[in-house]
Structure 1
Amino acid sequence: MSLDAVSNFHQLQQWLLINQVSNKLLYIIGIFIVFALFIVLFTKKFKMPIVVGYVFIGILFSVSIVKHLPFLSEEVKEWYAFSIESFDYVADLALAFVAFTIGSELSIKVLKNLGKKITFIVLLESFGAAILVTLAMLAIGQPFYIALILGAIASATAPAAPVMVLKEYNAEGTLTSTLLAVVGIDDAVALTIFSFAEPISLIQASGSGELSVMTAFVEPLVEVIGAIVCGIVIGYISVKAIVKFEDKTKKVLTLVATVLGASATAVFLNFSPLITNMAVGFAYRNFATKNPGIAEDMETLTIPLYAMFFMLAGTKIRITAITSVAFLITALVYTTARIIGKVTGASIGASLAQAEPKVKKYIGLGLLSQIGAAIALAYTVQRDFIDIPSVGLLVFNILLFTTAITEVIGPLATKYAITKAGEIND
C-alpha cells in the first residue's frame, strides 16, 4: 500500500467518524427491526407468508422511492442511499445460514430415496428456464450475449424464500423433502451453467479473447467440487466437536463460527460460499453421532437476520427504474419465460422420475423465487462487464424488476403448493 493510499485511508476514517456514519446505520437497523415486528403481527393475522411482508416493506423503503420524498433534504437522501449500500454483508450472512439449513435437510437416506427424482427435476427445471429465457430474449431482438447471460441467471432459484415458508408452516412430507433437496442442488447447477455461459458472452460482447476448455469447463467444475469438499471437511470437524458440548453458549458460538468461517474460507479460495455452507449443513446432518441440539438456537438466531435480509433485498428493487416500454417488455418476457420454464421443466422432470402426483403437480410452484443467487450473479456481470457498463446495468435492472414480482408471488405459490399437498403442520 502506497503512502498516498495510507493517507487517504486515514482521511476516510476521520470523515466516517466526523459524520457519525455508524449512528446513521443504527437508525436504519432500528427502523427495519421495528417494522419487522409489525409485519410479523400483520402477516400472522391475515395468514400471509412473512417473507412477502418483509419484501414489501423493503420496496417502500427503497432508494428509488425515498429519494422522491419531499420532506427529506438531498443530504439525508444521499446518506440513506450510501447507508443502504453498506449493508451488503447482511445478504452474505443470511444466505450462508440459509445454505446451511438446506444442507442440514439433505440426509443420505433421503437422497437415496429421492435421487432419481431430484436429478430429473433439477436438470429439467434449471435448463428449461435457461433455454426458454435465452430463446425468448433472442425472439424479442436482444443480442446473443445478453440472452445467454439472462438465460443462465434464470436457472437459479433463491433458496431463502421457500425455506422460510416451509419453516414458518412446519411443512413435512414428500413435496417438502423434494423441494428442499431441489433448491439445495439448484444453485450448484445454476452456478455451473453461469460459469459456462458468462465467458462465452464476455468474449462475444467484447470481440476479443479466446474461449478455452480451461475457462469454460475445468475452472467451473473445480469451483463446485472444491466448495463441496471444503464444506464437508469443515462440517465434519465442527459437528464432531459440537456434539460433545452440553453448554448452550459453546454450541451457538461453534455453529456461528463454523458457518462464518466456512464462508470466509470459501471466499479466500474463490469457491461459492453458498455451496460450501450447504455442504457444511450436509455434514452436520449425516456425520453427527447424536443430535447436535442446535435446531431451536438456529431458528432464534436467524429470525432478525432473515428479516433484515428480505427487507434490504426489497430496497434493491428500483421500481422507478422502469423508464421505457422496451425495458418493460424485456422484463416481462424474461419473467414469463422463466416461470414457464421452471414450472414446466420441474413437472416434466417429476413425471419422468415417476414421482408422486402431488410432487408432479406442485413442485414447480416452489421454485419461482429468485433474489439471492441471481442478484449475486447480476453483480458478477456488472463487475466482469465493466468495460461495457450498459450490459451490467440492463441485466441488473431486469433482475431487480423481476425480483419485485417473484418475491411476492414466489412465497405465496410455495404456500399454495404445500397447502394443496396437505403438508402444512400448524
Structure 2
Amino acid sequence: MPENWLSEHWPTAMTLGVLLAAALVGGLVGQMLRLPRVVAYLLIGLLLGPQVLNAVTTEALHTLETVGKFAISLVLFNMGCRFTVPHFRRLMPRVLYLSAGELVLTFVLVAVGLFMLCRSWQAGVLFGALALATAPATTILVLKEYESEGPVTEYATALVAMNNLVAVVVFELLFLLVQFTDGEMRHSIGSALGQLGGGLFGSVMLGLVGGLVVSYACGLLSPRHWLVLLVAATTLILGLCEKFEFPYLLAFLTMGVTVANASDSASEMEAELDRLTGLLCVVFFVLHGAELDFKSVFAEDDATLVYIALAYIVLRGAGKCFGVHIAARLHHNVPQVRRWLGAAMLSQAGAALALSSIAADPETGLGDLGRQLQIIIVSTVVVFELVGPIMIRQAVLQSGEVPLFRAIRHRTTTPMEELRRVARRLLTVVGRDPRRGRSPERLNVGQLMFRNVKTVPTSAMFNDVVDFIEASADSTYPVVDPGGSLVGVIRYPDIRDAMFNPEMAKIVSAVDLASPTQIVLYADDSAEHAWAQFRECHDDCIFVITHEEPVQLVGLVKRRDLMGLFARPNDR
C-alpha cells in the first residue's frame, strides 16, 4: 500500500473539499472544547498532513501554497487598516517602550542561552533574532474571532506588526555579519545592505501605490465592484512582491495603512473582504497545520537538538512575557497589560520559518549552522502555533476584553429540534403537514407549554449563570426564589454584548442580572392570546405561572412552537 494511499488519486478540488469539511468539524469540536478555531484548524491539518495520515500530500500543499499567501495578504491589509495617523500618534509612545522591553529581553535571553548551549555566538544571535518574530495571522485572527476590545488587544495588534518588521531587519543584518566574519560573503557589505534597503523600500512603495489606487478607485466605483477591485489589487501586489523578492508583509501593512488614511470607506472595504478572508484563512491554517513538522528535531538522532529546541521555547516565552511585564511596570501601565500582553505574543510561524529557510540555503555558506537553525524553528513552531492561540484567548478573556457572546458557547437549537424541523418541512412540502387539524382556536397554553422548566436560583453567582446559558438552547431564563416563585428573567440579548470580566464572578449574582417579568401567561389562556403576547415582545419564551398566591412557575411556551401554528402557510 503506498504511503499516500488516502490521496493518491485525489484531484486538487477533492483535496480542498476534504480539508474544508474536516476544518468545519474540527472547528465545531474546538468550540465545544473552548479552543480557538485556529488551533482546531491546525490540528486537523496536522492530522491530515504528511506527518500523520498523509491524506494531504506535499505536492497538494505546494499546489495550494498561493491560496495561503493570499489569505495572509488579506489579514495584513486588514491589520494595516486599523492604523490611522491620529490613532498611530496616540498609540506609538506607549507601544514603543513595550516593544523595546519585549524585543530586547527576548533577544538577550535567547541569544545568551543558545550561545551557552551551542558554543557559537553566531547561533546565539541568529536564534535571538528569529525569536523576535510573532505570527501576525494567528494573533490577529484569534483577536478577531473573539471580537476583543481594550488595551491588550490594541497593543497586541501594534506589537505583532512591529515585531515582524524588527525581526526581518535584525535577522538580515546579523545574517550579513555572520557571513562576513565567516568569510562566506559572495557580495560586498554595501551591495548586501543596498539589496536589503531596496527590498524594504520597494515593499513600502508597492503598498503605498496600491493603497492610493484602491482608495481612489473605491471612491469612483459602486460598492458592488469593490470585492473584485480589492482581490485584483491584492493578487497583483502579491505577484510583484514574489517577482522582485520584496517582503510582502510590509507591502500589505503599508497598503492597509494608506487606505485607512486616504479613504473614508476603509471599514466598508474590510467588511467587504471579511467573508472571503475568513474562508481563505480556514484553508491557510489547515494547510499550515499540514506543513508542521514535529518529527524533524527527533529525526537527527542528536539529543542536543532536543535540548536546544526546549531551551528556545522556554527562553523565548520568558522573554516575551517578562519583557512586556517589566516595561509595563516601569511605565505604570494597567495591570491587565502587565499580566497578559506578553502571553499574547507567543505565536510564531511564517516570518521565522521564511528567515530560517534563508539561513539553511546551501548558497549562504552557513552549512550545519543554517540547517540547525531551520530544524529548531520548524520543530518549535508546532508548539508556539498550538499554545500561542490558547494563550491569546486566555489573555483577552482574563483582561475583560471579550464580549460575553464570544466568551461562551450559546446555541439557539438542539440537533433533535433541528431534525424535527427539517422533517416537518419535508412532510409539509409533500402535503402531509403533521400539524394539520390542530386548530389554534381550540388550544390553550396548558396544552402547549413545557412543564419541566430549568430555573436559575436567586443565589446563583455569575459563573453559574454562564453555565446555565451554555447548557440552554433558549435565550430567556427564569430566576426563581427558594420557594419556586418567579422573581424575574435574564435575557441573553440584554447581556450578550457585555464584556466578560472574570472579576464579575465574585460579585455578580443572578438577581443583579435579572429584569422584571413584564409579560406572563396562565395555563387557561388561549393559544391566540399567547401569540398576541409574543407579538408584543422579543422574548423567545414566555413563562406560565399560577393564579394563586404565592405565584409559582409551572411552565413556559416557546415562540417557535406558536409560529408553527400561526405563521404556517394557509392550507385550509
TM-score, length-normalised on structure 1? Answer: 0.85
> Greater strand share, 1 or 2?
2
Matches within 5 A, 1:343-354: 343-354=321-332
Structure 1 residue 138, shift from structure 2 partner: 0.8
Q: Which residue of 1 aligns with 2:283?
A: 308
User: What is the letter of the counterpart of residue 12 of structure 2?
Assistant: L
Contact map agreement 1:133 1:154 (CA 8 A) in 2 = yes
- Within the candidate set 54, 57, 64, 2:51 is matched to 64
Structure 1 residue 180, shift from structure 2 partner: 0.7
Contact map agreement 1:145 1:205 (CA 8 A) in 2 = no
Q: Deviations over 1:194-238 (max 9, x none)?
A: 11011122334565657635535x543443344223312210221
Please tell me whether residue 42 in structure 1 is matched to residue 17 in structure 2. no
Q: Distance in 1 between matches of 2:330 and 2:209?
A: 35
Matches within 5 A, 1:264-275: 264-275=239-250
Structure 1 residue 349, shift from structure 2 partner: 3.0
Further displaced range: 294-303 or 329-338 = 294-303
Secondary structure of 1:243's aligned partner: helix
Contact map agreement 2:49 2:57 (CA 8 A) in 1 = no
Secondary structure of 1:381's aligned partner: helix
Please tell me whether residue 191 in structure 1 is matched to residue 168 in structure 2. yes
Q: Which residue of 2 aligns with 1:215?
A: 192
Q: Distance in 2 between matches of 1:291 and 1:83?
A: 35
Q: Which residue of 2 aligns with 1:71?
A: none
- Within the candidate set 305, 320, 327, 2:295 is matched to 320
Q: Distance in 2 between matches of 1:244 and 1:208?
A: 50
Q: Distance in 1 between matches of 2:203 and 2:353?
A: 20
Further displaced range: 232-241 or 404-413 = 232-241
User: What is the letter of the counterpart of residue 173 of structure 1?
Assistant: G
User: What is the letter of the counterpart of residue 17 of structure 2?
Assistant: G
Larger Rg computed on CA atoms? 2
Q: Distance in 1 between matches of 2:270 and 2:156?
A: 20
Matches within 5 A, 1:10-409: 24-66=11-53, 80-205=57-182, 207=184, 212-213=189-190, 215-216=192-193, 218-248=194-224, 250-291=225-266, 293-321=268-296, 322-323=298-299, 324-383=302-361, 385=363, 387-409=365-387
Contact map agreement 1:95 1:160 (CA 8 A) in 2 = yes
Secondary structure of 2:316's aligned partner: helix
Report the number of matched residues: 395
Secondary structure of 1:65's aligned partner: coil
Contact map agreement 1:98 1:160 (CA 8 A) in 2 = yes
Structure 1 residue 259, shift from structure 2 partner: 1.8
Contact map agreement 1:136 1:337 (CA 8 A) in 2 = yes
Q: Distance in 2 between matches of 1:352 and 1:211?
A: 42
Q: Distance in 1 between matches of 2:183 and 2:60?
A: 34
Contact map agreement 2:359 2:366 (CA 8 A) in 1 = no
Q: Deviations over 1:108-161 (max 9, x none)?
A: 222111111111222332233223211111111243322222221111111111
The change in CA–CA distance for 1:58 and 1:112 in structure 2 (over 3 A counts) is same
Q: Deviations over 1:77-110 (max 9, x none)?
A: 8x92332333332332222112111111112222
The change in CA–CA distance for 1:126 and 1:226 in structure 2 (over 3 A counts) is farther
The change in CA–CA distance for 1:390 and 1:221 in structure 2 (over 3 A counts) is same
Contact map agreement 1:144 1:201 (CA 8 A) in 2 = no
The change in CA–CA distance for 1:315 and 1:388 in structure 2 (over 3 A counts) is same
Contact map agreement 1:129 1:338 (CA 8 A) in 2 = yes
Q: Distance in 2 between matches of 1:47 and 1:261?
A: 38
Contact map agreement 2:81 2:266 (CA 8 A) in 1 = no
Secondary structure of 2:220's aligned partner: coil
Structure 1 residue 303, shift from structure 2 partner: 1.9
The change in CA–CA distance for 1:293 and 1:401 in structure 2 (over 3 A counts) is same
The change in CA–CA distance for 1:53 and 1:338 in structure 2 (over 3 A counts) is same
Q: Distance in 2 between matches of 1:185 and 1:416?
A: 22
Q: Distance in 2 between matches of 1:289 and 1:318?
A: 44
Further displaced range: 142-151 or 365-374 = 142-151
Further displaced range: 299-308 or 389-398 = 389-398
Secondary structure of 2:400's aligned partner: coil
Secondary structure of 1:47's aligned partner: coil
Structure 1 residue 276, shift from structure 2 partner: 0.6
Secondary structure of 1:66's aligned partner: coil
Q: Deviations over 1:387-419 (max 9, x none)?
A: 555334322221121111111110111111111
- After superposition, the CA RMSD in angstroms is 2.5
The answer for unaligned runs of 5 or more in structure 2 is 1-6, 407-572
User: What is the letter of the counterpart of residue 391 of structure 2?
Assistant: A
Contact map agreement 1:95 1:372 (CA 8 A) in 2 = no
Contact map agreement 2:80 2:253 (CA 8 A) in 1 = yes
The change in CA–CA distance for 1:27 and 1:104 in structure 2 (over 3 A counts) is same
Contact map agreement 1:366 1:414 (CA 8 A) in 2 = yes
Q: Deviations over 1:363-386 (max 9, x none)?
A: 111110001111111222223656
The change in CA–CA distance for 1:126 and 1:385 in structure 2 (over 3 A counts) is farther
> Greater helix share, 1 or 2?
1
Q: Distance in 1 between matches of 2:12 and 2:368?
A: 31
Contact map agreement 1:242 1:292 (CA 8 A) in 2 = no
Further displaced range: 25-34 or 287-296 = 287-296
The change in CA–CA distance for 1:219 and 1:235 in structure 2 (over 3 A counts) is same
Q: Distance in 1 between matches of 2:327 and 2:208?
A: 28
Q: Distance in 2 between matches of 1:142 and 1:281?
A: 43
Further displaced range: 343-352 or 401-410 = 343-352
Contact map agreement 2:118 2:124 (CA 8 A) in 1 = no
